[in-house]
Amino acid sequence: MYDSWSIERTIDLWLAEDIGHGDLTAQSMLDPDQTAEFYMNAREELVVAGIDVAASIFGRYDRTLDVKTHVRDGTRVAAGTRLLSVSGCARSVLTAERTALNIVQRLSGIATETARYVAKIEGTGVKLLDSRKTTPGMRMLEKHAVTCGGALNHRLGLDSGVMIKDNHIAVCGSIKAAVARARAMTPVLTKIEVECDRLDQVGDALEAGADVIMLDNMSIADMTEAVRMTAGRAKLEASGGIRLDTIRAIAETGVDYISTSRITQAAPAVDIGLDSPD
């Protein structure tokens, strides 16, 4: 879920970036009172995300436009599916077109890629998580797209939980000292996660009372051993080296979560176009 008020301010920035001082093409070729109707169509199978944001872009630029969405975010659609209709001032529609398409193509690309990863671990009980490796200024929307694809959000920001990594441990001196300091300084219901890349560190994190342990770039054998060592005393999150061809084997080790930045950083935009009626 995203905050609509914040998105409106972001849309203003997007439109200003693309339009500049005015759309020279639309203003020179189209009469001010010329009207038209266009349809936003999927040109490949995809999972929809950001369709309401696309609609808001048209409405934000010209409130007289009639904009209707025909699908909901999170819906898997076939090529040729009509996603959105927009009619009214032709100048306005064509001026806002690229911004609307850019966002829905990007977000639907993330949702579609996420769904591919989720499908690979179906039936294992493991939950797929995203990461903070998102496009600056786009985190709220990209994480929304991840949920449209069937995964869950990890931390939304640094204020969403405690993640103790190797550099934190180095500064504090040990995992035990780092967890103890975090426990003393954070609200009582805040989860504390510790990143571990060796099995001895997993043992230290368990002894320190970590709520979640990240198994960072561990082998399948080591992850399996970490599951045995932990025996349910903490949640285990596998991370690092997660790909479509590796995620199933990782899930089958018995970890609780798998996190990857690939679903946001490496997701290709999907093919969506704005077409006039035949």
Residues annotated as catalytic (active site), given as ranges: 98, 133, 165, 195, 216
Supply 67's token pair: 């904009």
Give the containing element (helix H, strand E) for 36: strand 35-42
Q: 39 and 85 in contact (C-beta within 8 Å)?
A: yes
Round to whole Å and give the CA distance between 39 and 169: 54
Of the CA atoms within 13 Å of residue 7, those in its CB half-sphere come to 21
Nearest Cα to Cα of residue 23 among 87, 94, 76: 94
**Quick one: CA torsion of 215, 219, 224, 226, rounded to 10 degrees?**
-40
DSSP string, 189-246: T--EEEEESSHHHHHHHHHHT-SEEEEES--HHHHHHHHHHHTTSSEEEEESS--TTT
Coil, strand, or helix at residue 82? strand
CA 260 vs CA 115, 181, 185, 188: distances in Å: 13, 28, 29, 28
Strands (E) across 132-177 are located at 162-164
Supply 183's token pair: 């426990």
